[in-house]
Structure 1
Amino acid sequence: MESPVQLTEKAKLEIKTTLRSNKIPDTYGLRVGLRGGACSGTFLLGFDTATENDLTYVIEDIKIFIDKRHLMYVIGVSVDYEEGTNGSGYTVSALDKM
């Protein structure tokens, strides 16, 4: 099943590096979801384990966990990793969302 979320090459590399360098168990993956209300919510990213409410997708050996209740809000989002003068981190951009 194809993931509703896209990962850029930089994000994939950073996620794999983080999981490997921190010796995070194989049961963990990247959680993509929403914090707050649907239209006024912010995207949520983090390393987590699956729950009974999650759908699990795999992109190049990276597990992606999405709560079934959040699925319609994260379809089509892209996760990137950026390094800049103010620091580095993951960014989430929605394509024609909200």
Structure 2
Amino acid sequence: MATTFTAPLQLTDNAAAVVKQLLQGDVEAPYLRIGVKGGGCSGMGYMLGFDALREDDDLFEIAGIPVIIKKAHGMYLVGLEVDYQDQDDVRGFVFRKPE
């Protein structure tokens, strides 16, 4: 069973609005999954998508959105800000990690 903790990351108002809009569509899984992937020469990458809750996930509510994060990924996401930009040169989710 998942327990709700204080979230290690935040969603901007723009990102939360887009996710809520997407959740109103035909989404099979009701949770927003945020995690890390890869590594190597270019560093760590971030991922975002809709998924089902798994046994090794932590569950958070961020801006009214159910967010799941694999327990092993939590420490890599501390302080992360997820934004959504819709400008001429950038459209999509943007991940910002403080240095």
- How do 1:1-80 residues align onto structure 2 when only pairs under 5 Å count? 1-20=5-24, 22-24=25-27, 27-37=29-39, 40-80=43-83
- The Cα RMSD (Å) is 1.9
Name the counterpart of 2:96: 93
Structure 2 distance, partners of 1:45, 1:11, is 11
Q: CA deviation at 1:60?
A: 3.0
Q: CA deviation at 1:7?
A: 0.5
Moved more, 75-84 or 31-40: 31-40
Structure 2 distance, partners of 1:5, 1:31, is 12
| Aligned-partner residue type, residue 65 of structure 1 | I
Q: CA deviation at 1:87?
A: 5.0
Structure 2: gaps of 5 or more residues: none
Report the count of equivalent residues.
Answer: 94
Corresponding residue SS for 1:72? helix
Structure 1 distance, partners of 2:63, 2:26, is 18
Superposition TM-score, scaled by structure 1 size: 0.85
Percent of paired sites with the same residue: 32
Superposition TM-score, scaled by structure 2 size: 0.84
